[in-house]
Every structure is written in structure tokens, then in C-alpha cells.
Amino acid sequence: MAIVLGPNRYGKAESRVVRIQRDTPRHEIRDLNVSTALRGWFDAAHIEGDQSAVLPTDSQKQTVYAYAKQAAWDTTEEYALTLARHFVDDIEPVDTARVEIEEYAWERVTTADGAEHDHTWVRRGPEVRTVAVTVSGAGAAQRTWVVGGVKDLTILKSTGSEFRGFLQDPYTVLEPAADRVMATSLVAGWRFSTLEVDWDEAYASIRQALVATFANLHSLALQQTLYAMGRAVLEACPEVAEIRLSAPNKHHFAYDLARFGIENRGEIFHAADRPYGLIQATVMHDDAEDAGPAWESFTGLV
């Protein structure tokens, strides 16, 4: 039986890039964590140790910083698209490039008179915006996929959630809950069907749809909530073909205060760290194309 080299790629992970635009007295900031990965004609590097077709990962890092300055971009998606196209179009052995970016949000400091400060910010978090761009092929046959996303979007509702009527077996000890705390730290990725998108506006619209649906839906289960959140995104943003959601159930258990003679009327909880339920779902248009390359993750962002 022959042994052959299978799929492979290489790149530079987590280059931390901060760009501050100083064109006007009011500065603008973008704070990014950029990872790149290349596929192509690299068999000789693996089989023979021949590096003649290999662009060093250090060169990829230097390109990330140079393009942050030289490329014309206003949004993180535009920056990722420019980087990925450069690697495919300008580096001959490369036939596919993937760029994954985490974007860390900052909000302006408000001065004593209520005005926003021109060049001072406070870091927001832990929520992180994500972007993954894959470019493959050359010329008219070139394909491009853009996946936007968010991770560590932590949401909690103190009521409006229940979980009962579930299947039981000999090991079931969980009591049905007619009114419970529901909380999660959401990871979501959404694939765009077009590149004609106002990227920042789309992110804001999608985030609003996710959060509002979580808040307003009376939930019978986290599964139901995830589907409703995904459906709301597809309705709010027609440019999205599909969305994938991963939601750990961050359990909050009512703490037993009765042993101290104290009544607990759904006010004091133990926030359990682990183990936790993990609910995942994909919501998509029924005619959405298969887009496997869009979801290949280099650093696990999506």
C-alpha cells in the first residue's frame, strides 16, 4: 500500500496589528489579530525538504503589517480580501490563501462635557468580531468566500426560558424547569453569498438580530433559541447564505439556602463552570451552495 502526502497548508498565526489613522485630529483605531495560511505546490518541501517554492511564514507576517499600511481599506473584511488575493495572485506556488482575523473593539472615552475624545479609547469585551476570507484559483475561475462572525458574545436572561418534557432514562436526575436562567457565550459564523456588502453595517445588523432574538423569544430550549436566532439573521441580512452557531449552556443553578433558614426565590445562583451542555446548529437557505472551503479553520476562529 503506497504512502502519499495528503492535504497540507502552512502560515503565520496571530500577528497582532494595530492601525491608527491620523489623517484628521479625530483618530480611528483598528485592533486586529491576523492569521494567514497558504496551500499550493509544496509537496517537495514535505517530501524532499526543498524549500524553493515556500514563502517563509516570516514573509507572510511582514506582508500582514505592510498591507495594513499600504492597502486601501476601511473595514476588516476589505483588508482580509486584499491580503488573500495578494498571496494567490502574486505568489506563484500558492493556489489558495486563507486569512482569519479577530477584531478587538474599542470605544471612545467621553470627556467631562459629554463629548467623545478624539484619540483615547477604552477596550470593549470580551466579545470579539471575527472574519475569515478564503481565495482559491486564478483569473476568471477564482473563487472567494467571506465568513463574518463573533465569539465570546456572552448573553444572559433571568427569565423567559424553560426546559421540560425531555426524554428520561434510568440516569436522568435533572428536574424539569418552568422558569430558569439561560446564559451562553455564543460563537457564530455567517457566510456571505456576495461581496457587495457594507461589512460594518452587516455586522451591526446581524449582532442586533442575534441579541434581540435571544432576549425576546420565550425559550422552550436552547436549541429552539439558536434556530430562531439564525433565522432572524437570514431575514435581517439577505446577503447571508448560512449561519453556524455554537452555544455552551452556561448553567446557573439555584443555590440551596434553605439549610440556613433562608428562602431563595430564584435570586441566588451558583454559576457552574463545567461540565456544560454544548448546542450547535446551522441555519441556511435551502438553495445555499456547498461552500466547504469557507469553513476550513486555521486557528479555530469559526
Give every CB contact of residue 283 below 8 A, 6+ residues apart in sequence. Answer: 226, 227, 230, 231, 233, 234, 242, 243, 245
Task: Please give the mean pLDDT across all residues of the chain.
Answer: 95
- Angstrom distance (rounded) from CA 129 to CA 136: 24
Asked if residue 297 has pLDDT above 60, the reply is yes
> Domain spans of the chain?
1-141, 152-302
Q: Mark whether 12 is an active-site residue.
A: yes
Q: Count the neighbouring beta carbons within 10 Å of the beta carbon of residue 154.
A: 12
Annotated binding site for urate: 57-58, 163, 180, 223, 249
Neighbours of 291 (CB within 10 A): 17
Cβ contacts of 266 within 8 Å, gap of 6 or more: 179, 254
Q: Cite the annotated binding site by residue number.
A: 57-58, 163, 180, 223, 249
CA distance 263 to 259: 9
Whether the pLDDT of residue 239 is over 90: the answer is yes
Third-level CATH fold of 1-141: Urate Oxidase (3.10.270)
Mean pLDDT of 135-149: 95
Candidates 27, 57, 82, 299; catalytic one: 57
CB 79 within 8 A of CB 70: no
Domain 152-302 coded CATH 1.10.645.10: no
Residue 301 scores a pLDDT above 50? no
Question: Comparing 1-141 with 152-302, is the CATH topology the same?
Answer: yes
SS3 265: coil
At 75-131, the pLDDT tens digits run 999 999 999 999 999 999 999 999 999 999 999 999 889 999 999 999 998 999 999
Nearest to 227 by CA among 217, 236, 237: 217
Residue ranges of the annotated binding site for 5-hydroxyisourate are 57, 163, 180, 223, 249
What pLDDT, on the 0 to 100 scale, is given for residue 298? 56
Give rounded-to-5 percent helix, strand, coil for the chain: 25, 35, 35
Binding residues for O2: 57, 249
By three-state DSSP, how is residue 158 classified?
A: coil
Q: Which is catalytic among the residues 86, 157, 251, 252?
A: 251
Grid coordinates given for 100: 482569519
Q: How far apart are CA 183 and CA 48, in angstroms?
A: 52
The set of cell numbers assigned to 144 is 472567494
In angstroms, the CA 237 to CA 255 distance is: 41
